[in-house]
Chains A and B, each alone.
Chain A
Amino acid sequence: MSTRKLTLLIFAAAVLAEPLFAQQKGNSSPCMAEYENHNQIDYGPLIVQEVKGAITDQEQGAVRKVCVGIFTEKDHKLVATTESDAEGKFSLQNVPPGRYRLVVKADPLCAANVPLQVVKSQKKKKVLHVHMEPRGPDSCSFADLENESAVVFQIKR
């Protein structure tokens, strides 16, 4: 094989392999999350053992394929991101105990920013239900805690 052909082969392999490595780098999700806290009255923190739940719109429809990010509350460092699935559900694995802020963005709705406290164990496991709403005068998207079955039951597809 000539040197020229070999060079071309290596170049083609590098070009084809690039997206593969790029996907591996963005392990959790390719979505871009930025820290936000614009609550006039900051509620919570909501206490959970696992950072998972469902996102719904005002009509209780699943909000799918939107960016969910979790940040440390103290220094606003991004811990993990993911995207909601086709049923509006999301899950962020292996988040160590501590204070966080969950940010959910679904343009043009008001971005939800939810203070969270992740604990080691919890008697009654609860999941997050993020209610996405348009911005109002001092009102925005918010979250509450519900039983897992209740959230799944409520979502209209």
Chain B
Amino acid sequence: MSSVTAADLVPGFNKFQGLLGAPIYRLAETFGHEGAHGQFAIQNPAQAVRIQQLVNQQDAAIQGQHYPYPPDVMQKIKAADQALEPTERFAQQVEKIINGELQADKKKQ
């Protein structure tokens, strides 16, 4: 990895900042991000179920269709995309905290 990635939903946070030369720390940050999606689902079960329903509806609508998609398929893709935003934002917020902790740990060693 040669550069950091700007987190699109948490302004000012760059993913893997300060951890470019440390693969195991980057792995820990990614693990924390993915775990945060699980934490979001546990804390917001109704919303998590709704997200999964919308993603399933999107996947079913796409089956057998080709780009450019008809308006009903476009609407389902956009709905699923919007529904995913809260869980992604939460995961990036948690990742930012984890990144700070990992950077501090790396400095200690």
Binding site for B on A (CB under 8 A): 37-42, 57-59, 61-64, 66, 73, 99, 106, 108-110, 132, 134-138, 156
B74 & A59 in contact (Cβ 8 Å cutoff): no
With A and B bound together, what is the CA distance between A5 and B35 in angstroms?
75
What 4 A-B pairs come out closest when comparing CB atoms?
A: A61-B66, A57-B67, A108-B77, A63-B67
The minimal Cβ–Cβ distance linking B76 to chain A, given in whole angstroms, is 9
With A and B bound together, what is the CA distance between A156 and B64 in angstroms?
11
A138 & B65 in contact (Cβ 8 Å cutoff): no
Say what secondary structure dominates the interface of chain B. Answer: helix
With A and B bound together, what is the CA distance between A41 and B33 in angstroms?
11
Number of B residues whose C-beta is below 8 Å from A? 29
Q: Pick the contact of B30 from A41, A59, A110 — CB < 8 Å?
A: A41
Binding site for A on B (CB under 8 A): 1-3, 5-6, 8, 15, 30, 33-34, 37, 55, 58, 62-67, 69, 74, 77-78, 80-81, 84, 87-88, 91
B66 & A57 in contact (Cβ 8 Å cutoff): yes
A134 & B62 in contact (Cβ 8 Å cutoff): yes
Residue numbers in A under 8 Å from B84 (CB-CB) = 135-137
Say what secondary structure dominates the interface of chain A. Answer: loop
Residue numbers in B under 8 Å from A137 (CB-CB) = 37, 84, 87-88
Nearest A-chain residue to B9, judged by Cβ: A38
A134 & B15 in contact (Cβ 8 Å cutoff): no
Residue numbers in A under 8 Å from B3 (CB-CB) = 73
Residue numbers in B under 8 Å from A61 (CB-CB) = 66-67
Residue numbers in B under 8 Å from A110 (CB-CB) = 81
With A and B bound together, what is the CA distance between A157 and B80 in angstroms?
27
With A and B bound together, what is the CA distance between A106 and B62 in angstroms?
15
With A and B bound together, what is the CA distance between A62 and B80 in angstroms?
23
